[in-house]
């Protein structure tokens, strides 16, 4: 468990420390030196515009991991609010919100994200919107399930009888019991967001060049796949390693919290 | 049970209506003037404002959101998906052609996934914690973390570029299906292995197993008649997830293998801003996805009578 979480933190540290660790400016173009093989000067080689791949990978971690954090956090907020509203808002609010959740689940999330981002126009903003809109449903389901089961708990009934407002009941009783379950869902959605960002970037609907996002880097590298195949390995490996680390951290977290996590 | 099935069916209809409304809302709010897009596609030149107004009135764009929505929904309910905004040809036949390229790859991928995951999970659970079990878990975790398009690119690099055994681009022969199907099949295998493995391990922990063994039922009999059905129920429900995974994977995998299937169709339609095509793919995919999940829900309830009447 420790090792896995340490590994996940390593990736975050690499992203934060990119300006210190990166040997070159990730946007510095150096045409005479384009597509060079790994060497002492350019540890992972250079891309089609002569930019240093290692520096771009390090800065790319900021885009891929940072945006994935933002997206999964926004999804967490939206989903929790919707789930709690459904649990506490009465029969019809519940029916309406759960059918809305089902509607968003009626479509493979990543395909929906591709359509939304593509139709709204390729940009980082539409990508964030597309991936957020398609990522709140699991949180909503978990929050509703926990919320419904808490409603009949003695201490919640007592708090209501004591005249606490619904907001403070949510704040002091619902949120603390929700946190373990939501954290486990969140790790899974964080990993999915990384995959989503790189997929949209690879299709050209996400972060736009020249920004060093991993999926966008793969899109560039694919063109020169035959001459410099190594160039295509690194960004993909970065995606796989970070998703794997976060997934394993999530598994470890679920095992550690298993008594406090309701069925997910 | 009939009441439950009817309830599920009704819910699927509500969800599909919601999906249609969401699709229309997205296309309505898409940046750019839809009338301009239609006019450009039709006349292939810059048109005066009077023509734009005409197109707007003809397509019902100026009538406001809800009248436009009903105008849009009517033909769709009759199964008329309209014409491509770019080529002017009917969307439906092109969509059917695209699906005829996609379906065999998806089915082959599902077959590969089953063929790899079932034996791997069975071998792994023979002795939980053994090196074989750890290997299976590691492979499965790795498989879930690999983006399908990157795995596809690696397979192209190895089998098409380096070894030259298989074709990578296009869809002319059956051999063209192998690499895309393997790409998706490995992903399916990874997630199925995880689920079957944990299903078997959970069924093994049930208290009825020692009771059966004590009564003299053979280990093989217990495995076949008691563990397998228990592990099978979660596998059925997971097919919905596998379908989602396949459809998500197809979008990028068909693009990298240049296959003229549903995924490639969708991406090129989005890039060309050909909205009639986009909405056709979206609605057909939603229909397939909701129908399959409805069937899974019904089968799930039939397999495990305890859940039968709940949550309908």
B 259-298 residues inside an 8 A Cβ radius of A: 266-267, 270-271, 273, 275, 278, 282, 285-286, 289-290, 293
Q: Using the beta-carbon criterion (under 8 Å), do B267 and A118 form an inter-chain contact?
A: yes
ipTM of the complex: 0.82
CA of A101: which chain B residue's CA is closest?
A: B15
Q: What are the tens digits of pLDDT across the range B196-236? A: 888 888 777 777 777 777 787 777 777 777 777 777 777 77
For residues A214-235, average pLDDT:
81
Q: Using the beta-carbon criterion (under 8 Å), do A229 and B161 form an inter-chain contact?
A: yes
In whole angstroms, what separates CA A250 from the centre of its chain?
13
The residues, any chain, with a CB within 8 Å of residue B195's CB and separated by 6 or more, are B234, B235, B238
Give chain B's residues under pLDDT 70: 34, 37-38, 40-42, 44-45, 58-63, 171, 305-312
Backbone angles phi, psi at B90, to 5 degrees: -60, 140
Nearest to A58 by CA among A224, A221, A214: A214
CA of B15: which chain A residue's CA is closest?
A: A103
Q: Using the beta-carbon criterion (under 8 Å), do A240 and B149 form an inter-chain contact?
A: no
Long-range CB contacts (within 8 A, 24+) of A30-38: A35/A224, A35/A227, A35/A228, A35/A231, A37/A228, A37/A230, A38/A230
Q: What are the tens digits of pLDDT across the range B170-179? A: 767 777 788 8
Interface of A with B (CB under 8 A): 99-100, 102-104, 106-111, 114-116, 118-121, 191, 195, 198-199, 202-205, 215, 218, 222, 225-226, 229, 232-233, 236, 239-240, 243-244, 247-248
C-alpha separations of B118 from A72, B114, B129, B141, B231 in Å: 33, 6, 18, 16, 11
B 221-260 residues inside an 8 A Cβ radius of A: 243-245, 247-248, 251-252, 255-256
Give chain A positions within 8 Å (CB) of B267: 114, 118, 203
Q: What are the tens digits of pLDDT across the range A135-171? A: 899 899 888 888 888 877 788 788 888 878 878 887 8
Q: Using the beta-carbon criterion (under 8 Å), do A247 and B150 form an inter-chain contact?
A: no
Q: Where are the alpha helices (DSSP H) in chain A?
A: 2-16, 18-21, 53-88, 91-105, 109-120, 124-133, 137-151, 154-161, 166-169, 175-203, 214-223, 230-256
The full DSSP string for B45-85 is S---HHHHHHHHHHHTGGG-HHHHHHHHHHHHHTT---B-T
Q: What are B101's two structure tokens? A: 């390229």
């Amino acid at each position: 468990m420790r090792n896995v979480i340490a590994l996940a933190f390593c990736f975050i540290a690499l992203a934060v420390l990119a300006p210190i660790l990166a040997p070159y400016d990730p946007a510095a173009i150096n045409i005479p030196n384009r597509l060079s093989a790994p060497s002492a000067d350019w540890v992972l080689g250079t891309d089609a515009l002569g930019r240093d791949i290692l520096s771009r990978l390090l800065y790319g971690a900021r885009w891929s991991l940072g945006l994935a954090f933002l997206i999964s956090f926004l999804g967490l907020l939206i989903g929790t609010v919707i789930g709690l509203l459904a649990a506490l808002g009465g029969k019809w609010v519940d029916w309406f919100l759960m059918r809305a959740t089902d509607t968003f689940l009626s479509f493979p999330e990543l395909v929906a994200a591709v359509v939304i981002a593509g139709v709204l126009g390729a940009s980082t903003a539409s990508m964030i919107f597309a991936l957020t809109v398609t990522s709140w449903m699991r949180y909503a389901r978990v929050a509703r399930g926990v919320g419904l089961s808490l409603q009949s708990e003695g201490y919640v009934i007592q708090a209501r009888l004591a005249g606490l407002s619904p907001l403070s009941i949510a704040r002091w009783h619902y949120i603390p019991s929700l946190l373990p379950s939501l954290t486990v869902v969140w790790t899974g959605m964080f990993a999915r967001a990384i995959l989503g960002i790189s997929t949209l970037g690879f299709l050209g609907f996400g972060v736009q060049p020249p920004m060093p996002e991993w999926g966008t880097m793969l899109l560039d590298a694919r063109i020169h796949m035959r001459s410099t195949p190594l160039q295509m390995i690194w960004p993909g490996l970065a995606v796989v390693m970070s998703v794997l680390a976060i997934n394993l951290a999530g598994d470890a977290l679920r095992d550690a919290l298993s008594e406090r996590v309701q069925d997910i | 049970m009939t009441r439950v099935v009817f309830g599920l069916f009704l819910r699927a209809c509500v969800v599909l209506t919601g999906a249609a409304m969401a699709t229309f809302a997205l296309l309505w709010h898409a940046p750019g003037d839809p009338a301009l897009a239609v006019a450009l596609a039709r006349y292939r030149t810059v048109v005066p404002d009077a023509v734009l107004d005409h197109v707007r009135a003809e397509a019902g764009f100026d009538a406001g959101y809800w009248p436009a929505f009903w105008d849009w929904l009517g033909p769709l309910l009759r199964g008329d998906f309209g014409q491509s905004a770019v080529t002017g040809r009917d969307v439906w036949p092109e969509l059917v052609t695209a699906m005829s390229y996609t379906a065999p790859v998806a089915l082959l991928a599902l077959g590969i996934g089953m063929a790899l995951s079932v034996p791997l999970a069975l071998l792994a659970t023979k002795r939980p914690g053994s090196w074989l079990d750890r290997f299976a878990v590691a492979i499965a975790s790795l498989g879930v973390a690999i983006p399908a398009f990157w795995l596809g690119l690696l397979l192209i690099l190895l089998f098409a570029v380096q070894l030259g055994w298989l074709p990578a681009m296009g869809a002319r022969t059956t051999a063209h299906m192998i690499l895309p199907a393997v790409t998706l099949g490995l992903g399916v295998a990874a997630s199925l292995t995880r689920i079957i493995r944990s299903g078997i391990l959970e069924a093994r922990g049930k208290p009825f197993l020692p009771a059966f063994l004590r009564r003299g039922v053979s280990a093989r009999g217990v495995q076949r008649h008691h563990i397998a059905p228990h592990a099978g129920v979660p596998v059925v429900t997971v097919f919905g997830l596998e379908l989602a995974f396949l459809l998500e994977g197809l979008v990028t995998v068909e693009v990298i293998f240049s296959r003229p299937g549903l995924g490639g169709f969708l991406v090129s339609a989005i890039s060309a801003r050909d909205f009639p095509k986009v909405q056709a793919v979206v609605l057909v995919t939603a229909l397939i996805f909701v129908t399959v999940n409805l069937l899974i829900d019904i089968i799930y309830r039939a397999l495990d009578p305890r859940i039968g009447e709940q949550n309908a």
